[in-house]
């Protein structure tokens, strides 16, 4: 870990790879994501074998229980329930399916994709309710950090004593819209160095070629999020065959940097640490 950055010592020198199995919002022409629950579960299993510890997945309302069940039949990968822009009342079935993690946007969504714009906001009161519900269902919140204001909101929730350590965070770069931040080492260094102690950071970058950026993320001690939702292209800039190809390449980067790939069990042990 580079001096001055928060320690992810709960994972040591291991790097957790999260794979996003949803379709690309920015590059809809890249049709390399699974489209059915069965395909998603099968892809999650192959990504687990390739090195992913966490699968970030989307489901339609009413389908969460089936999706979580199908994935758990095929693999021990951790399940991270996406759609973080949805209000809490629309995510009851996601909570009831009891994934390992649930994505929560710290603040507002302002995204500009090819075929749709997304605008949503979680008030601090709603975020408090999210934190309470995560505790009640035994689900780890995965907080999305899109800019520095999200860190202020995280600190607010910590001060309210509604969160359990460690704090699992995903830092977003390059996603188009009003929350856009540059895909640069300076931006990543500044934001990673500003998160609270007891944070475990993962990095997501959207763009046609983000592999060099992801390598830098690993080199300074971050975990990484890759997959068709974020960047559906391989290192040559072509549409990847599938998500397992993207995970396999990421695992190679991790090993090239003299680190090891975290298993689902490594992550489970890390997030089990609590401060009640």
1 within domain boundaries: no
pLDDT of residue 108: 84
Quote the pLDDT of residue 148.
Answer: 93
Which residue from 214, 232, 216 is spatially nearest to 34, judged by alpha carbons? Answer: 232
For residue 235, give both structure tokens.
């290192």
pTM of this structure: 0.94
Angle between the N-to-C axes of helices 185-192 and 211-219, in degrees from 0 to 180, rounded to the nearest 10: 40
Owning domain of residue 135: 17-271
Domain contains 6: no
Which residues, in sequence order, are CB contacts of 194 under 8 Å at separation 6+?
Answer: 148, 151
Residue 49 located in a structural domain? yes
What pLDDT score was predicted for residue 119?
A: 85
Our count of domains for the chain comes to 1
Q: The domain spanning residue 145 has which CATH number? A: 3.20.20.70
CA 168 vs CA 15, 230, 232: distances in Å: 13, 18, 24
In a domain, 110, yes or no: yes
2 belongs to a structural domain: no
How far apart are alpha carbons 87 and 133 in whole angstroms? 13
Provide block-wise average pLDDT over 10 residues at a time, the chain (276 residues): 50 94 90 96 98 97 97 98 94 97 91 80 95 97 96 97 97 90 94 94 90 95 95 92 97 96 96 60
Pairwise CA distance, residues 96 & 93, whole Å: 5
């Amino acid at each position: 870990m580079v001096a001055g950055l928060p320690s992810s010592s709960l994972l040591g020198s291991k790097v957790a790879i999260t794979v996003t199995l949803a379709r690309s919002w920015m590059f809809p022409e890249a049709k390399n994501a699974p489209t059915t629950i069965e395909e998603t579960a099968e892809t999650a299993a192959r990504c687990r074998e390739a090195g992913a510890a966490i699968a970030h997945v989307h489901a339609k309302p009413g389908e969460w229980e089936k999706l979580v069940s199908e994935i758990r039949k095929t693999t021990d990968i951790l399940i991270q329930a996406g759609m973080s822009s949805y209000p809490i009342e629309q995510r009851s079935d996601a909570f009831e399916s009891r994934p390992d993690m649930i994505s929560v946007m710290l603040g507002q969504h302002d995204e500009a994709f090819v075929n749709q714009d997304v605008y949503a906001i979680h008030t601090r009161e709603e975020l408090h309710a999210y934190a309470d519900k995560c505790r009640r269902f035994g689900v780890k919140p995965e907080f999305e950090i899109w800019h520095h204001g999200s860190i202020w909101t995280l600190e607010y929730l910590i001060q309210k004593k509604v969160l359990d350590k460690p704090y699992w965070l995903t830092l977003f770069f390059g996603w188009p819209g009003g929350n856009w931040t540059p895909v640069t080492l300076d931006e990543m260094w500044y934001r990673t160095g500003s998160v609270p102690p007891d944070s475990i950071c993962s990095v997501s970058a959207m763009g046609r070629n983000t592999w060099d950026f992801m390598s830098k993320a690993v080199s300074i001690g971050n975990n990484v999020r890759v997959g068709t939702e974020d960047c559906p292209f391989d290192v040559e800039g072509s549409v990847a065959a599938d998500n397992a190809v993207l995970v396999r390449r990421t695992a190679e980067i991790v090993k090239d940097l003299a680190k090891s790939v975290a298993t689902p069990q490594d992550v489970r042990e890390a997030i089990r640490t609590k401060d009640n």
